[in-house]
Structure 1
Amino acid sequence: MNALASAAAGILLSNWRRGYTVPAGGLYPHQWSWDSAFIAIGLRHLSPRRAQQELDTILSSQWSDGRLPQIVFHSGHDDGYSPGVSFWHSSRIPGSPPVETSGLIQPPNHALAALMVHEADPAESERRRFLERAYPRLVRWHEYLRDRRGGTSGLARVVHPWESGMDNSPYWDACLKGMTQTYADDIPRPDLLHADAGHRPSNGEYGKYLYLAARYRDHDCDDADAGFPFQFEDPAFNALWARSELSLAAIAAIVGADPEPHRAEARRIARQLERLWSPEVGCYVARDVRSGDLQPYRTVAGLVPLLLPELPHTAELLELLRGPHFRLGEVAMVPSHDLTAPTFDSARYWRGPSWFNTAWLIAEALYERGFTDEAELLSRNMDDGALEHDFPEYLDPYSSDPRGTRRFSWTAALALDLSQKIGAPR
């Protein structure tokens, strides 16, 4: 085992909590939904069985309506995190699971992870009937997105910045600025005990985040609040949904179900994703469902559709990735926001820093499209940044200085995964 694999394994072992992995001890002491899917992708190289358990645990926390919750509070306590159990009280909400959870969701990368985990050790997967358990839950999860979060556009909407996974993206600026409501109580910030305030969303943003979360909670998380002030179609969220439908098609074939409905659904989502293409910025962007406005920002979320086959704007996205706005190969990994934009901030969360999970998504897309040299360059850049800085949450794209917390689980898992691909036959 090389130095990176050994260090990554140590972090994943230390962050393991009897059936799941916390993103980072201290700052993130619970189980996060899309984190667990990313973590399972790396864990499969160390223990396919543990990777299966990771996904089993998040899938077993599914609500009766099919949603997979953003956070699962297995301890039943806040454990220094806010908003936690004492905020959500999910056990009071009809249809919630026996374990306490958040009512919000996160991007649907779970079927993609489940297929990769199965392929790491098909015999062990079949022995444990992993896909037979996972498939119906994943189907219900995708049905929730279509039936509860879909609208006339055919795309799924997010109802909170946290649901996009990219909390303080410039996409949300106009909506949040126009909101007069904020959280009425004190705004707890335990996150600032573990990370620099200059790297995190501001108190003003948090006040509005908590207002939105409380309003959603107070409507029993039922998605039927027509006047809800935050409703967006996000390109990365929907691209991951489409890509995961393709993974569900492959899973269906393995478990003896019909794969064609999943292929058709992936094609349908991909067609509707074209509603989010902005010729003016040459990128996919988010759309405010209430106003109909496309948000005029180039972000890494708008590059994630590269994961989809037969994408009509592949050439434009590759040009954008290589050009001055993202400078692939010239800066650390892939910046979360346009390097040339006045809203770019190299230190603050999703307004500029380079994240390891989105770098992995872009690298995976480049590998699949045959751009092996660029994919390996990005992979090595990601692995070097992870190992040199003790697997940080994200990096300054210019200086490569570490930002956020350290010993971050998806950084370890995804760096480990890409290290297996470098130099491997494709």
Structure 2
Amino acid sequence: MQAIRDELDRRAIQIMRDNDRGGYTIPTHGLYPYQWNWDSAFAALGFAAFDPARAWREIEILFSGQWLDGMVPHILFHRPDPGYFPGPDVWQCRGPLPSSGITQPPVALSFARRLYEAAPALGEVPVRMLFDPMRRWIQWFLAWRQDRGAICIAHPWESGRDNAADWDRAMAAIDPADVGSYERRDLDHVHAAMRPTKDDYDRYIWLVQRGRRLGWHAPSLAVDPPFLVADPTMTFTLMRGVRDLIWLGERLGLPTAGLMHDLAMLEQGAETLWNPAIGAYDSRNVLDGAFSGTLSNASFLSWYGGIDRPELARTLEEVMAPLPYGVPSLALQDERFDPRRYWRGPVWGVLNMLVGMGLEEFGHPRGAALRAMTARLIASHGFAEYFDPRDGAPAGGGSFTWTAAVWLAWAGQGLAPAEG
């Protein structure tokens, strides 16, 4: 068993090195040729397993793209690459580096704590350097993406769960008739059956075009937004990030004034996402107040955020019971379930990890089981972007950075118990 784990460690480290672009990491060759925000944060965790200094460099370069208003973009376009659309010429943003005009789940805030805990002597200087930028990112979320204390997305790509069923109702209200022609490049790398549909993409690009017309000016974008959805992923990852920044501040004597207030606001906001009809946290369309009625892997991030709810554990059991590899991005019972189409059914190692970490921290036995499931998934089916939740068949991009990172940082530790 140790020999199997050693070989998987070796392969995961090689993927990390192959996708390293000299201080930042791409998710995978071809399909994603730039630095993605939350992918990069997971990459830092992976590097921490064998090169802690390189792990901090990943986070530092991510924050080098932070805008003056505090937003950290979801893509940094370090080098031109014609194989990706939409590139910097489409976004036309105003940050310190060529970038997109939206953000992504702020897992980097919490992963900074993990890096520090692993090597405090190495981490003190970067934490002190990044502490204020991390606080400013939190304040940006609360200023421009907050509704009743819950954190919202203004574009499906901000959630990291691009085509999740959570957004169907809100996206249907957008008429993209004037979006014009464009050429998708993702289908050059991955079969269309595994990617968002053209109807989805028309609306994605329409929202980008609106942001560009408004100069990515946050106050202007906030006026009559065509899409605004309160999201469990954003709410719980920011909640966790605030908790972890408070922890870091207290350890290093850095200013934490106001962060407890921010945390209390987020905890209140989380309760606006509880949907009793499904017994879980759910996305809420801010424009009409309706829940999406979607049981997704994000529905179970509350433990990661720091909230334990017994009835949610029962719902999790129901969702996981028919499947061998963890929490699907859409419950099998949902009529919209599609086992290979991106965030409409596949299981993702990164969400298994966040849900599992939260469960383990609260002492739920499902946490260790989820870690073992993810270990078996990767050991049996490799380091794909995501997987069919029924049989583990790999899907999306291959040799994927964050799946390698999940193995090195978390899942690999569950292999021996799962097989023993």
State TM-score, norm by structure 1: 0.92
Query: Residue 282 of structure 2 aligns to which amino acid in structure 1?
Result: V
User: Is structure 2 residue 13 aligned with structure 1 residue 9?
Assistant: yes
Q: Which residue of 1 aligns with 2:53?
A: 49
Match of 2:85 in 1: 82
In the TM superposition, 1:23-422 aligns within 5 A as 23-75=27-79, 77-90=80-93, 93=94, 96-97=95-96, 99-126=97-124, 129-151=125-147, 153-182=148-177, 184-223=179-218, 224-225=220-221, 226-259=223-256, 261-311=258-308, 314-323=309-318, 325-327=319-321, 330-372=323-365, 374-419=366-411, 421-422=413-414
Measure, in 2, the Cα distance between the counterparts of 1:206 and 1:182.
Answer: 12
Q: Structure 2 stretches of 5 or more lacking a match?
A: none
Paired with 1:285 and 1:254, the residues of 2 have a C-alpha distance of 34
CA deviation after TM superposition for structure 1 residue 115, in Å: 0.6
Q: Residue 332 and residue 84 in structure 1: after superposition, are their counterparts in 2 closer, same or farther (change >3 A)?
A: same
Aligned pairs, number: 411
Q: Which amino acid aligns with 1:113?
A: F
Deviation at 1:420, TM superposition (A): 5.7
1:235 is aligned with what amino acid? P
Supply the AA of the counterpart residue of 2:328: P
Q: Which amino acid aligns with 1:47?
A: D
SS in 2 for 1:351: coil
| Whole-Å separation in 2 of the counterparts to 1:422 and 1:264 | 37
Q: How far apart, CA to CA, are the structure 1 residues paired with 2:293 and 2:392?
A: 27
Q: Distance in 1 between matches of 2:400 and 2:320?
A: 24
Q: What is the Cα-based RMSD across aligned positions, in Å?
A: 1.8
For structure 1, list consecutive stretches of 5 or more residues without a partner in the other structure: none
CA deviations 1:345-366 (Å, max 9, x no partner) are: 1111111100111000111012
| 1:119 Cα deviation from its structure 2 partner | 1.4
Q: Take 2:132 and 2:256, find their aligned partners in 1: how far apart are those partners?
A: 13
Cα distance between partner residues in 2 of 1:265 and 1:421: 34
Distance in 2, matches of 1:390 and 1:281, equals 33
> Normalising to structure 2: TM-score of the pair?
0.94
CA distance in 1, matches of 2:90, 2:349: 30
Distance 1:183-1:380 versus aligned 2 partners, 3 A rule: farther
Q: Is the 8 A contact 1:182 1:208 kept in 2?
A: no
Contact residue 183 and residue 207 of structure 1 kept, 8 A: no
1:353 partner SS:
coil
Cα distance change, pair 361–291 in 1 and its aligned pair in 2 (3 A): same
Could you tell me how far 1:258 is from its partner in structure 2?
A: 3.7
Give 3-state SS (helix, strand or coil) of 2:374's partner. Answer: helix
Work out the CA distance in 2 between the residues paired with 1:382 and 1:117: 22
Partner of 1:20: 24
String of CA shifts for 1:302-359, please: whole Å, max 9, x gaps: 1111213343xx2111111111x3327x422210111101111111111110011100
On the 8 A contact 1:73/1:100 being kept in 2, the answer is: yes
Contact 2:179 2:205 in 1 (8 A): no
Distance across 1 between alignment mates of 2:119 and 2:354: 22
